[in-house]
Every structure is written in structure tokens, then in C-alpha cells.
């Protein structure tokens, strides 16, 4: 039977509905605060403060990884309220990409799924090397693959909840990946071959030494996947709006047969903590990119999402929330001529095809 595996059990692909391809509901990114401790005393003084509406400007303007409270999503009641906003705009499912080492909580996800009625797909794998649990370094790619296969086929930690997707397996620096991250990617390919589930990676795009964004890493991932013999049609590249800043960049990757997840809608911010002037794309830039790709007929390999993973992105704290894509971006697609069938393809048909196994 073809199925999609959620935290409450397997469902028919026909029951998936509108799906966000890359979100975080319960997550702990506080390790990033420790990695990027600011030198300025004024910024360090903010690290232990509770997030407030007044602090949002600073969190969006380059200080966003310097606050422990901002980096933690753990309040189930709050997340239920936030996700019900998404459901109110006809959202039905989410791919939750939080992994061991950054706060994965399958039982919490199941509780949220029960309270909201949303389908939540839990992930297996490991994020960037600086977040890896200690055991990852001591295991081979074969041993790591076995862990992922067990979590997909038998369950996570004997709690009766199974993973339904691999990733976002993280890559950081040096580009295209740290050796430990390459090992995890190879393990993900092995697990994908064994189970047939979808898998994704967080691409490396920040050249720390040169202080520039780079777009060449995805070609290395495609080469690795092909060498390992995993299914490219089940692979989706997270944060494609960052590593594919133009439709020409995206087209070159789409011609390789992979899927692109444009998944940071609502995150129009500067990344001054990386280097002065660094920034994420704006929503108008993302929209323009996807409108052009739809004109070229590539909608059958595109998924959409927002990558909510910080408190300042929640509506409770003045952010766009989980409903932003459906509330604001999809109507803008329509305004610029994207057809209803193309929107349905990106939000419903593609997730159904990619996530089914």
C-alpha cells in the first residue's frame, strides 16, 4: 500500500491536502547562540532576555541568533494556537524537519497533531555538524543508516511513533559539507534506498572565509546522491530560495531531476551576524523567481514553505506565522498569473508524490 507516515500513523496520500514542505514546530537552536556569541556587550546583554515585541527589530536585523529564548520553540499550547491559524486557511499537513540534537520531540508533535487535527510528518537524520549528538562521530554511514531505517520502519525510541521523512540533513562549512556531514548524507542515501521515503538536506551557502553567499553546493549533493544510487525524484533541496536566487540557477538544478523546496517565505531579514550586508531574499524576489519558473513549466518539481524556527517568526511575536504562505503569498501568485492548477501542484500534488512510499 502506498502511504504517507505521520506521527499519528500512516495515512492515504489523498488525505494529505495542502502541505508545507519544511517547518519546525518544536525546536531548540540555542547551540547557535553559543556558536555566535557577540563581542558587543550590548548584544550579549540581550542573550538571556525573554523575547518581546520591542526586541523584534533587533532579532530581524542581525541579532536573531543571539537570544536563547528566541531560539526555543517548546510551548505546546502556543504552537497549537499558531498552527490553528494555518489550518484556518485550509492548511492540512506539515513536514517537521527538527532532528536529534536540535530538540526533536515526537511525543510533543503527536500531541500537537491530536489537538489541531493536522498531519505532521516527523523526520530522522542529523542537522549540521555542530549540532550532532556525540554518537554520530563514532558511527559509520552504514550504522547511521541503520538508525534511520529503524526509526522509519519500527519507530523512534520504542514510543510507537515512526519517522516519515529523512532530513533536513545539514551541511555547513567547508562548502559543500564538513566530512561528518558528508557521512550523514551518505547514510541518508542508504536509508532512502532501503525505505523509499523522501529525503532533504539543508545546503551550505555561507562561505565563512570569503564572506559571501555561494550557490554551487547543490551540484555536489546531486553527484553524491547519484553515486550512492538513491532516488533523485525523492530528494528535495531545502532553502532553494537562498541557493537558487534566480530562475536560471533553479532551472539548472531542476533539469537534474530533483525537487526544490522554496521554504523561507516571510524571512525578509538581514544576516549581519554573518557579515555586514548579508541578507535573505525578500518575498517579492522569491515570488518573482517562482512565477518565472512556473512560466517555464517547472511547477511539478517545486514545493513551498516558511521554515518557522524562531519565536520572532510566530504571530504571537509579530511575525508572519505558519499561515503566511496561504494568507499572503498564494494570492500574490494568482495576481501575477500563476494558474490554480500550478498552485495546487506545488502545495498538494508534489508533496503527495514526494512523501508517498
What lies within 8 Å, CB to CB, of 39 at 6+ separation is: none
Domain 4-355 has CATH 1.10.1060.10: no
Read off the pLDDT band of 280 (50, 70, 90).
confident
Read off the pLDDT band of 1 (50, 70, 90).
confident
Q: Grid coordinates standing for 280?
A: 535573505
Task: Flag the least confident range among 35-44, 143-152, 178-187.
Answer: 35-44
Mean pLDDT confidence for 229-252 = 96
pLDDT at position 339, please?
98
Read off the pLDDT band of 8 (50, 70, 90).
very high
Mean pLDDT confidence for 89-108 = 98
Angle (deg, nearest 10), helices 179-195 and 217-228: 50
pLDDT at position 113, please?
98
Instruction: Name the residue ranges covered by the structural domains of the chain.
Output: 4-355
In this structure, are strands 206-207 and 212-213 parallel, antiparallel, or unpaired?
antiparallel
- 108-133 burial string, b = 16+ CB within 10 Å, else e? bbbbbbeebebbbbbbbbbbbbbbbe
Mean pLDDT confidence for 95-122 = 98
CA dist 122 → 17, 96, 118, 290, 314 (Å)? 17, 5, 13, 27, 20
pLDDT at position 64, please?
56
Read off the pLDDT band of 28 (50, 70, 90).
very high
In this structure, are strands 9-11 and 4-6 parallel, antiparallel, or unpaired?
antiparallel
pTM, rounded to two decimals: 0.96
**DSSP SS3 for 286:** helix
Q: Grid coordinates standing for 134?
A: 556525540
Taking the C-alpha atoms of residue 212 and residue 227, their distance in angstroms, rounded to an integer, is 29
Chain-centroid distance, C-alpha 125: 13
Task: Give the whole-number percent of the chain exceeding pLDDT 70.
Answer: 98
Amino acid at each position: 500500500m502506498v502511504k504517507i507516515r505521520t506521527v499519528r500513523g500512516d495515512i492515504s496520500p489523498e488525505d494529505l491536502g495542502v502541505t508545507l514542505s519544511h517547518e519546525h514546530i518544536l525546536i531548540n537552536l540555542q547551540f547557535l547562540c553559543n556558536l555566535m556569541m557577540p563581542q558587543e556587550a550590548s548584544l550579549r546583554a540581550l542573550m538571556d532576555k525573554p523575547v518581546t515585541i520591542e526586541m523584534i527589530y533587533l532579532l530581524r536585523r542581525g541579532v536573531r541568533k543571539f537570544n536563547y529564548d528566541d531560539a526555543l520553540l517548546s510551548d505546546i499550547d502556543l504552537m497549537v494556537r499558531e498552527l490553528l491559524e494555518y489550518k484556518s486557511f485550509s492548511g492540512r499537513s506539515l513536514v517537521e524537519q527538527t532532528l536529534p540534537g536540535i530538540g526533536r520531540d515526537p511525543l510533543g508533535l503527536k500531541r500537537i497533531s491530536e489537538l489541531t487535527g493536522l498531519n505532521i510528518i516527523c523526520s530522522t537524520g542529523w542537522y549540521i555538524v555542530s549540532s550532532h549528538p556525540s554518537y554520530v562521530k563514532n558511527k559509520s554511514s552504514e550504522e547511521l543508516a541503520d538508525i534511520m531505517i529503524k526509526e522509519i520502519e519500527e519507530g523512534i525510541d520504542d514510543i510507537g511513533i515512526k519517522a516519515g521523512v529523512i532530513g533536513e540533513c545539514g551541511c555547513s562549512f567547508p562548502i559543500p559539507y564538513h566530512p561528518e556531514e558528508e557521512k550523514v548524507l551518505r547514510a541518508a542515501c542508504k536509508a532512502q534506498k532501503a525505505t523509499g521515503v523522501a529525503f532533504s538536506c539543508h545546503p551550505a551557502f555561507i562561505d565563512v572565509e570569503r564572506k559571501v553567499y555561494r550557490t554551487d553546493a547543490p551540484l555536489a549533493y546531486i553527484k553524491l546522491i547519484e553515486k550512492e544510487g538513491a532516488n533523485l525524484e525523492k530528494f528535495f533541496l531545502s532553502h532553494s530560495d537562498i541557493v537558487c536566487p534566480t530562475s536560471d540557477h533553479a532551472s539548472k538544478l531542476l533539469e537534474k531531476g530533483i525537487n526544490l523546496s522554496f521554504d523561507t517565505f516571510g524571512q525578509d531579514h538581514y544576516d549581519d551576524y554573518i557579515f555586514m550586508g548579508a541578507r535573505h531574499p525578500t518575498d517579492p524576489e522569491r515570488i518573482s523567481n517562482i512565477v518565472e519558473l512556473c512560466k517555464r513549466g517547472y511547477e511539478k518539481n517545486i514545493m513551498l514553505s516558511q521554515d518557522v524556527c524562531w519565536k520572532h517568526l510566530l504571530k504571537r511575536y509579530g511575525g508572519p506565522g505558519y499561515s503566511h504562505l496561504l494568507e499572503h503569498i498564494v494570492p500574490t501568485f494568482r495576481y501575477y498569473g500563476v494558474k490554480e492548477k500550478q498552485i495546487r501542484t506545488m502545495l498538494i500534488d508534489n508533496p503527495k508524490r514526494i512523501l508517498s512510499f
